[in-house]
Structure 1
């Protein structure tokens, strides 16, 4: 996914903060800023900051999605916040991150399901940590997705619970085209 000038500037600001905190020296800062200001994709930017501590989200950085009886669905070209809190009492949750705009190297998703089920589709190469998610009467299926952090890969951390429902996390389905 291609980045905007705002994305480049946000990364440059994070690099400058890391320099002022003593996490980067002058040469590292200059090298990374040069790459950041000419970056074309999110992968280019994430590689510059994945060894730096993630910024602590402010209260406004948490997006809450809630439904009592309906289904919650996000897919296509949507902005994924750093922290997402999703709750559904009787409906399902369907979050497709595969085509979304994700400006963070780590996305935290807190889920509260009572009777519904959840499905999260992560971009190819992404890693998923579901160690903080509990299912009382359902199941958690990660389709053998890697959970160990990898340099430059999106890391999705899923916490919360499903009382009677299940959670499935997977990569997008491969599309087969015939000519």
Structure 2
């Protein structure tokens, strides 16, 4: 019996590394960690090769703006986020008419769980999640078409959990995993 090759561990970008260094510096300046602990964790961050190693270096730090909720709203037109944007812990997306496209594949995701609340009237929505993300959308109510989502055959531990909830009127939600 042959075994399937495993996916390589989730690599991190320089943006991820820079964000982690900034979080450590903020924790030190606020007195949450000592100078020695700062040095040790900075070494871990600067030598980390995977997202899991990076998360381990930030373990036990207080949540950065843990209570923040951001809202993206448009009455009509498109809502589009892509590239290296910072994803808040709770993201509300509101649109009466128009298309929504959220690409989280290169976004900075600092929280293990991200809640996306959709309040959409008409128009379709596409959400691209990181390759190693876990997706939950049981609390999403759709009025017209079912959600399209094909989970990854093999998921690796350590990726963020993306929970999608809310209401969609006329339109379809398509959720897909990034290729890289």
Work out the number of aligned pairs and report it.
158
What TM-score results when the alignment is normalised by the length of structure 1? 0.72
What TM-score results when the alignment is normalised by the length of structure 2? 0.71
The 1-side partners of 2:159 and 2:40 are apart by 18
The 1-side partners of 2:136 and 2:100 are apart by 18
Q: Does 1:170 align with 2:172?
A: no
Q: Is the 8 A contact 1:145 1:170 kept in 2?
A: no
Give the corresponding residue for 2:160: 154
| 1:44-102: CA deviation from partner (whole Å, max 9, x where unpaired) | 232456799978932xx111000111110000111111110001111111000111111
| 1:111-142: CA deviation from partner (whole Å, max 9, x where unpaired) | 01111111100111111011111111122111
Q: Does 1:70 align with 2:77?
A: yes
The 2-side partners of 1:119 and 1:166 are apart by 8
CA RMSD across the alignment: 3.3
**Closer/same/farther in 2, CA of residues 157 and 137 from structure 1, 3 Å limit:** same
Aligned to 2:96, which of 89, 92, 98?
Answer: 89
Structure 2 gaps of 5+ residues are 1-12
The 1-side partners of 2:54 and 2:26 are apart by 10
**Closer/same/farther in 2, CA of residues 82 and 135 from structure 1, 3 Å limit:** same
The 2-side partners of 1:79 and 1:90 are apart by 25
Structure 1 gaps of 5+ residues are 18-31, 175-179
Q: Does 1:7 align with 2:11?
A: no
Alpha-carbon distance, 1:36 to partner = 3.4
